[in-house]
Each structure stands twice: as C-alpha cells, then as structure tokens.
C-alpha cells in the first residue's frame, strides 16, 4: 500500500483528502503542523508527501528542507500562494511539484500518481548510462545523443543542460538551479540563456520543437524532462 503523509492545517481539506485517498486504497497519515510532519515522516516513512506551505508553526519550505536532509520522498506542495518566486523557493528547497489552491481532486490525484510512478520506475539508478525515448537515445557515459540512427551534434553547454534534465526524469528543475550549474550564475536576467539553449536542444531532439514532447517548460519556474 502506498502511504501518503498529508501536512495541512485546514481540517475540512484534510478530511476531503483522507476520504479521497483512502477510497483509492492509499494509506494516509495527517499532520496539522510542521513539527508533527517531520516526526511522522521519520516514523512512518511515507511514499509521498502532500505539503501545505502555510503551517501554524513553521513555513512549509523549512519542512521541505528538513525532509530533504535525509529523504528523497516525492513532495507535492499544496498552497494558495501564487507568486512564482514562492513556488521557485519551494522547488529550490527540494519539492517535486506545486499545486495551487483551489485545485481539482482529479488533478491532484493524477500528479500524486505521477510522482509515485517516477520514484518507482523513472528515477535513474546509480550507474545508469543510457536514457532511451521513442525518438532519441542519450548515452551519458559516451556523452552521445542519437536520433533516427544518426549522431546529434551537441555543444558542451547543450550537453551539460541536457544531462541535468535527463538524469532527473519528471522532476522540475528551476531556472536558478540550471543557471548555477551550467553557467555559474543565478541572476534572473540571464534566463534568456536558458531559452536560447532549450530552443536549440528542441530543434535537435524533438520531432515538433514548437510542441515539445520531452523538454517541457514550466513558465516562470524552470524545465523538466519527460521520458
């Protein structure tokens, strides 16, 4: 049974989440604050965490940091905060996804299933060197991309960017993280670097660069690779 830890201080929402999750055969633990959440996470070892940012005792970002100190469990943030910088702060701290309140239960459950599935199936195991999609193959060891049986010529910068994305399939990588890793800068006015290089990668790898299947943009936040 997949175990879900719900961290939320709104009793009505907690009740609705528990009913919907248990109806789909999930095991559910609930915490009304960050302190209880960190204690329950250590004791119950959940498979996924649904986390509200506005908790009574601490900010949800601090809960994310506390969890990330010892676990890679998927964390889906649930929050009424809509400012992109707050979403980025949660993602930079280690959250895997961000759902803005109010949300549809069907959308939330779909994202929860996707997060669990990625953890079980898509996360690359240590030592994995080959990433295969329907349209292209990435050989991480040989630093080689192949599409349609032909080598794809990538610049060192394009390769570095692609490597970061494909080694964390399904995970949203923030602009800040990519800028720091690839160019050593985090200034927001450098995001044009990312747009240019992502456009080049899509032209080289995607069947329809204008409607990418693999290299996905999350506007204002970052990019993700969907294998």
Mean of the per-residue pLDDT values for the chain?
88
Retrieve residue 92's tokens. 């930079």
Q: How confident is the model at residue 125 (pLDDT cuts 50, 70, 90)?
A: low
Cβ burial, residue 51 (10 Å; 0-12/13-18/19+):
buried
d(CA 193, CA 195): 6
pLDDT over threshold 90, residue 49: yes
Question: Structure pTM?
Answer: 0.61
**Residue 121: its pLDDT value, please?**
52
Q: Which residues are CB-contacts of 208 (< 8 A; sequence separation ≥ 6)? A: none
pLDDT over threshold 90, residue 177: no
Number of H helices and E strands in the chain, helices first, is 8, 12
Retrieve residue 141's tokens. 């060891």
Q: What is the DSSP letter of 124?
A: P
d(CA 69, CA 204): 37
**Residue 83: its pLDDT value, please?**
73
Mean pLDDT of all residues in 68-93? 84
Q: How confident is the model at residue 218 (pLDDT cuts 50, 70, 90)?
A: confident
CB 170 within 8 A of CB 154: no
Mean pLDDT of all residues in 156-166? 89
């Amino acid at each position: 049974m997949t175990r879900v830890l719900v961290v939320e201080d709104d009793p009505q929402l907690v009740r609705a989440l528990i009913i919907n999750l248990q109806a789909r055969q999930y095991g559910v633990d609930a915490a009304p604050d960050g302190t209880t959440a960190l204690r329950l996470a250590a004791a119950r070892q959940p498979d996924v965490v649904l986390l509200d940012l506005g908790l009574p005792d601490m900010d949800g970002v601090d809960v994310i940091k506390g969890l990330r100190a010892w676990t890679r469990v998927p964390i889906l943030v649930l929050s009424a905060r809509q400012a992109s910088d707050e979403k980025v702060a949660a993602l930079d701290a280690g959250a895997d996804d961000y759902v803005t309140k109010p949300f549809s239960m069907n959308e939330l459950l779909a994202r929860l299933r996707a997060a669990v599935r990625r953890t079980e199936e898509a996360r690359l195991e240590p030592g994995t060197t080959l990433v295969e999609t329907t349209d292209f193959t990435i050989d991480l060891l040989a630093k080689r991309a192949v599409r349609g049986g032909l080598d794809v010529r990538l610049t060192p910068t394009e390769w570095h960017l692609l490597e970061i994305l494909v080694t964390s399939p399904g995970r949203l990588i923030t602009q800040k993280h990519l800028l720091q890793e690839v160019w050593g800068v985090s200034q927001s006015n450098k995001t044009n670097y990312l747009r240019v290089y992502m456009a080049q990668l899509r032209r080289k790898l995607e069947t329809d660069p204008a409607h990418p299947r693999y290299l996905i943009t999350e506007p204002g936040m970052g990019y993700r690779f969907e294998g």
